[in-house]
């Protein structure tokens, strides 16, 4: 079912090829155009979740498509930054691998009718990633403040690894029935409907 939140998610996906083209073409002023495209795409992530909650337009399509769109956007941006020499490949590989690992675990847990809610570390990870990407896009325009972009990239890497490990630990506690695990999950049939852009991703 198509509604405004889902249309915004599709729009975010359509912005990905444009973002990649801008970053790789590197025409005059490409940094600011690329930053603008990325910020618009990132804003739609917030907006579709907000509208879905406000209008009660949460759909199965949205719950699946929204986190996928987020991963495609950030992964494409990071890979493009590697291609133009603004981000180390090994750091980006770790960040993207974390996303695939957590997505795989989430899918597996869903088959067991378990929902592992997104934690604070995941939300921090997503926010820091967006800041890091934004700063790296305009890296050459930052002058003496270029080191800030590098710092945020390192923070994004650490936050990604930490939140990924935390997610796996929470799942292990649930699956093995360890003390403290019972409060970290609900049966999928009893859990509240996840809101696109909030519970599923970003923030996991």
pLDDT tens track for 24-80: 998 899 999 999 999 999 998 878 766 766 767 666 656 677 778 888 999 999 999
Classify burial at 123, counting beta carbons within 10 Å of its beta carbon; exposed 0-12, middle 13-18, buried 19 or more. Answer: middle
Range picked from 17-26, 116-125, 166-175 for highest mean pLDDT: 17-26
Confidence of residue 178 (pLDDT cuts 50, 70, 90): very low
At a CB cut-off of 8 Å and minimum separation 6, what does 27 contact? Answer: none
Judged against a pLDDT cut of 50, whether residue 188 lies above it is answered with: no
Report the percent of the chain where pLDDT is more than 70.
Answer: 76
Domain ranges of the chain: 4-187
Judged against a pLDDT cut of 90, whether residue 184 lies above it is answered with: no
DSSP string covering 123-170, please?
A: HHHHHHHHHHHHHHHTGGGSGGGHHHHHHHHHHHHHHHHHHHHHHHHH
pLDDT of residue 72: 92
| pTM for the full predicted model | 0.80
What does each C-alpha distance from 174 to 40, 122, 134, 181, 199 come to in angstroms?
38, 18, 36, 5, 18
What's the rounded mean pLDDT across residues 69-97? 95
How many angstroms separate the CA atoms of 92 and 85, rounded? 12
Q: Which of 15-19, 56-60, 87-91, 194-198 has the lowest mean pLDDT?
A: 194-198
Residue 202 corresponds to which tokens in the numbers above?
């970003």
Helices (H), 56-145: 60-83, 89-111, 120-137
Report the percent of the chain where pLDDT is more than 90.
Answer: 45
For domain 4-187, the CATH architecture is: Up-down Bundle (1.20)
Judged against a pLDDT cut of 70, whether residue 192 lies above it is answered with: no
């Amino acid at each position: 079912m198509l509604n405004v939140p889902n249309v915004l998610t599709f729009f975010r996906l359509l912005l990905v090829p444009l973002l990649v083209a801008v970053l790789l073409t590197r025409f005059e002023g490409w940094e600011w155009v690329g930053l603008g495209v990325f910020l618009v795409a990132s804003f739609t992530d917030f907006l579709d979740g907000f509208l879905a909650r406000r209008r009660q337009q949460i759909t199965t399509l949205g719950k699946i498509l929204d986190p996928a769109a987020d991963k495609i956007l950030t992964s494409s941006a990071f890979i493009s930054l590697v291609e133009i020499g603004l981000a180390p490949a090994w750091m980006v590989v770790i960040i993207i691998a974390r996303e695939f690992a957590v997505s795989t675990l989430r899918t597996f847990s869903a088959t067991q009718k378990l929902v592992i809610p997104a934690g604070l570390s995941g939300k921090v990870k997503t926010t820091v990633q967006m800041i890091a990407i934004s700063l790296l896009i305009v890296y050459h325009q930052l002058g003496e403040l270029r080191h800030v972009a590098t710092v945020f990239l390192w923070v994004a890497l650490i936050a990604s690894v930490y939140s990924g490990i935390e997610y796996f630990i929470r799942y292990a506690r649930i699956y093995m029935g360890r003390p403290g695990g019972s409060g970290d999950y609900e049966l999928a049939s009893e859990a509240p409907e996840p809101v696109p852009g909030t519970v599923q991703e970003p923030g996991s």
